[in-house]
Amino acid sequence: MRRASDPMKAGQPLAAGARKLAVAALCAMMLASCAGDRPIFLPPEPPRRPNQLGVAGNALESATQREHQRLMAAFGGEYRAPAVKRMVDEIVAKLAETSPQPNGAYEVTLLNSPVVNAFALPNGRLYITRGLLALANDRAEAASVVAHEIAHVQARHAVERAELQQRSELVRRVVAQVLEDPLAGEAVQAHSRVSIATFSRQQELEADLIAVKAIAAAGFDPYGASRFLASLQRTTNHRAMLMGERPGARGLDILSTHPSTGERIQLTLATARQIAAPGLGQRDREGWLSALDGLSFGDDPREGAVRGRTYVNPSLGLSFTAPEGLALESTRDAVLGVGAQGAKAMRFDSVQLEANQTLESYVGAGWIEGVTPGPVERLTVNGLPAALTSGRGTDWHFRLAAIQSDQRTYRFIFAAKGSDQDLDRSFRSVVNSFRRLSPSEAANVRPLKLRTITAAASDTIASLAGQMASDDRALDQFLILNGLDRNSPVTPGQRYKVIAE
């Protein structure tokens, strides 16, 4: 047990490590977010900013550079779209001209990702995914996103969160080490996580408020923020529906770092109404849609792409088709599928077998905790060696397949909650659909493109959606892309976005 005179000695390592801890906290929390060509990794030179954390300048620069590289790797690298980039840079310049902090330096990087999101680093680097660009319907909507991220930088939100987490970690370590009470330290940390989440939600709302005022001051339509957030909400609800969740079923999550999109829409709409009536301010729908024409849409085929219920990966030269009722989503490390309101799930990925390990020994090795695998079946799938097995947990039934192809081992994991008579049939259908692509098939897998079409007097939402590339939910996707509801009118002569091969 430490004596009463020891806390200062115990505190010395904490103080000595505070500088490193500050940088580590910044690395973990520096990102502020809202929501073709081969990726090119050419990071721009970071603009020099004042050292606001009190840590060594080179440490802060190293932290931001590492975070830049991490973002580039996680989101497909830089996406080259000169027309869109030029327009975004013009938006940044306009916002900077009318900003109360005119000395800020900002550099925008477009990311080659279909995910709808944007980020900001404390040194003024801004990141926008092409998925977000595709969702915006005019320059004012795009400006609201840029202004939101700039607001995070100007308000020092990431730095403040890093400082809050730093203090939280120091308090936890003091309680755990000085008072020799690890449980109390964990309780302090749990309370801090709630405080940080609440703080982050407040920051998001503050950034929204600043953004609406900023785009209005720059001459843009202040209602662009609420329109974009409404499209974001439609996207979120659509994805939830595809993944077997109830749209809007967010629940009470005190650890969520973002307020609900509905809350953000109400705030931005109320703020815009205080500034001007609808119809004032620049929107430039035509100019924005012209810049977007030809933008890559959805998954980059080089990383693997979902086309309806089929997954194709020309780089690996493979394809498979999911059974009916299973919605697929391609991620960086796996292809995921969900159906039946979350009662069915699938994962496809690759694994590295140990030296001299066979497919049979792998699938029979107890691959899910608490599940004992059954007998192993050896078979051939479209000329490729494969092994299958099954297992049962407390509430879930499982199927596993491992398939060998070109020195790689690919894995399907199926799971169904409760009794599911169709599990084995669905599982075997997707396994049997796994095949190698021919060179010509692989060469013909191209990215989808965003195109703009002009509505004729006879057009309806249904006729315009009918021009979308083959998709079993083309109408829903058309409405989301264009910020429309099912009963929205079509304006003759106006341009609309569609997805094309």
Domain ranges (residues) in the chain:
7-290, 301-443, 447-500
- CA–CA dist 303, 334 (Å, integer): 11
What's the sign of the alpha-carbon dihedral 489, 491, 495, 501? positive
pLDDT band (50, 70, 90) for residue 389: very high
Residue 260 has pLDDT above 90, yes or no: no
**pLDDT (average), residues 394-413:** 89
Residue 22 has pLDDT above 90, yes or no: no
Instruction: DSSP letter for 305, please.
Output: E
Residue 362 has pLDDT above 60, yes or no: yes
DSSP SS3 for 26: helix
Lowest mean pLDDT among 13-17, 157-161, 326-330, 348-352: 13-17
Contact present, 393 and 371 (Cβ < 8 Å): yes
Residue 212 has pLDDT above 60, yes or no: yes
Give the alpha-carbon dihedral of 253, 255, 261, 263, to 10 degrees.
Answer: 80
At 439, which helix (H) or strand (E)?
Answer: helix 439-443
Side-chain half-sphere CA neighbours of 372 within 13 A: 0
Residue 437 has pLDDT above 80, yes or no: yes
Residue 258 has a pLDDT of 61
CA 6 to chain centre: 47
pLDDT band (50, 70, 90) for residue 470: low
Which of 331, 268, 36, 22 has the alpha carbon at shortest distance from 158?
22
Lowest mean pLDDT among 155-159, 172-176, 413-417: 172-176
**pLDDT (average), residues 261-268:** 89
Residue 379 has a pLDDT of 94
pLDDT band (50, 70, 90) for residue 416: confident
Residue 189: both structure tokens together: 């940390």
Residue 60 has a pLDDT of 59
CATH 3.10.350 is right for the domain spanning 447-500: yes
Chain mean pLDDT for the chain: 77
- CA–CA dist 290, 499 (Å, integer): 14
Choice between 145 and 19, residue whose per-residue pLDDT is larger: 145
- CA–CA dist 162, 168 (Å, integer): 10
pLDDT band (50, 70, 90) for residue 19: very low
Instruction: State which amino acid sits at residue 97.
Output: E
Other C-beta atoms lying within 10 Å of the C-beta of residue 373: 17
Residue 120 has pLDDT above 60, yes or no: yes
- Give me the architecture of the 301-443 domain, per CATH: 3-Layer(aba) Sandwich (3.40)
Residue 52 has a pLDDT of 42
What phi and psi values does residue 214 have, to the nearest 5 degrees? -70, -45
Residue 460: both structure tokens together: 């309806």
Side-chain half-sphere CA neighbours of 402 within 13 A: 22
Per the DSSP assignment, residues forming a β-bridge with 377 are 388
pLDDT cut 70: percent of the chain above it = 73
Entry pTM: 0.75
